[in-house]
Amino acid sequence: MNFACLLADGFEDIEALGTSALLRRAGFTVDFFSVYNKDEVKGSYQTVVTNLKKMKNLSVTDYDGLFIPGGRAAFGLRENIEVKEIVKKFHDAGKWMLAICAAPTVFGMLGLLDNKKYISFPGTEKEMGKAIRVEKKAVTDGLFITGKSAGAVYEFVFEIIKTINGEQALETFKQNLKY
């Protein structure tokens, strides 16, 4: 499984990097894309990510899904026309749609989560349209997998692994991780 991860200045460090590191450890590929096509981006806690691919070169056909981490960057991403177009392309192509913390609002404000279950950072409910909030650390509904916050990174990753690769793959991952 290959995922494209959208990064912009202000991304939540552990949500982006922790999730990606754990997914890579589980055998997934995660490529970082600079939303504003810069050479580097800086997280909320000053972690600098370099060697990024540029979002303008992102081809939906090269990936099985899209991952958007939260942080203050998510509030700009949900207003960005290019991001909205990429999100719609992934959705229309039937790809996995992953988001954590404030990032599910990108999907919610586009109406993609209407009548679907989700979780996001507390206080973002008003941005979620007709989506159905479920108070868990991670929630799957169809091809959407959402996580609550930085404190739910492990549960978010576990939900992704279990949903895509199955319960046995998750148990093996947990054993290897010594969780």
What's the rounded mean pLDDT across residues 2-14? Answer: 98
pLDDT (tens digit, 9 = 90+) per residue, 25-52?
999 999 999 999 999 999 999 999 999 9
Structural domain count of the chain: 1
Mean pLDDT, the chain, whole residue set:
98
Q: What is the CATH number of the domain that holds 105?
A: 3.40.50.880
Q: Which residues contact 12 (CB under 8 A, 6 or more apart)?
A: 43, 44, 69, 70, 71, 73, 100, 101, 150
Residues making up the chain, counted from first to last: 179
Domain membership of residue 133 as a residue range:
2-177
- Token readout for 42 is 């800086």
Give the other-Cβ count within 10 Å of 119's Cβ.
27
At 179 the pLDDT is 84
At 15 the pLDDT is 98
pLDDT (tens digit, 9 = 90+) per residue, 160-176?
999 999 999 999 999 99
pLDDT (tens digit, 9 = 90+) per residue, 122-152?
999 999 999 999 999 999 999 999 999 999 9
